[in-house]
Amino acid sequence: MKKQRRTEIKRASLQAKVLRFMRLSKRISIREAGDLNGCSAPTISHYEQGRLDIPAGRVAHLVESYGYTMDDFNVYMNGKPLPVLNLRIECAGLLEYLDESKLHTVHAVLTSFLDFKKEGVKPL
């Protein structure tokens, strides 16, 4: 049996989510974040997706490179809700966690909001 590597498992911690929010809120690309922090873009991506543990010494550097302070970071770590930066992407991400029966319900709700004739959209 093949041993599963950490990079194959996604377990994004609150720390990873806060860092992702900070980067995105300043409109810094993953590539730019890697350049700012002396690491590769895939490393930043793995940090944010929970595929790679973030070294303790790296957190402060990431936070500061994004234009925030550790006080800002700690406010979010202590429970301040992260603002939604892109509602479409956020909703799409949430859909990944739903099983088929819940997806049917979501689909019904979403389609009820659309007037297909007015919107020029064809139902699937």
Average pLDDT, the chain: 87
- Distance from C-alpha of 52 to C-alpha of 12, rounded to nearest angstrom: 9
Domains of the chain: 1-83 (1.10.260.40), 86-124 (no CATH)
52 and 116 Cβ atoms separated by less than 8 Å: no
Residue 123: pLDDT band with limits 50, 70, 90: low
User: What residues contact residue 67 under an 8 Å CB cut-off, 6+ apart?
Assistant: 26
- DSSP per-residue string spanning 22-40: HHHHTT--HHHHHHHHTS-
Q: Would you state the pLDDT for residue 114?
A: 80
Residue 116: pLDDT band with limits 50, 70, 90: low
User: What residues contact residue 114 under an 8 Å CB cut-off, 6+ apart?
Assistant: 121
Q: Would you state the pLDDT for residue 115?
A: 72
**16 closest CA partner among 57, 59, 61:** 59
Residue 43: pLDDT band with limits 50, 70, 90: very high
* pLDDT per position as a tens digit, 71-104: 999 999 999 999 988 888 888 888 888 899 999 9
33 and 66 Cβ atoms separated by less than 8 Å: yes
Q: What is the pTM of this model?
A: 0.70
Instruction: Give, rounded to a whole angstrom, the gap between the first and last alpha carbons of the chain.
Output: 41
Amino acid letter for position 25:
S
Assign residue 27 a region: left if phi > 0, alpha if psi is -120 to 50, beta otherwise? left
Q: Would you state the pLDDT for residue 35?
A: 97
Q: Would you state the pLDDT for residue 122?
A: 64
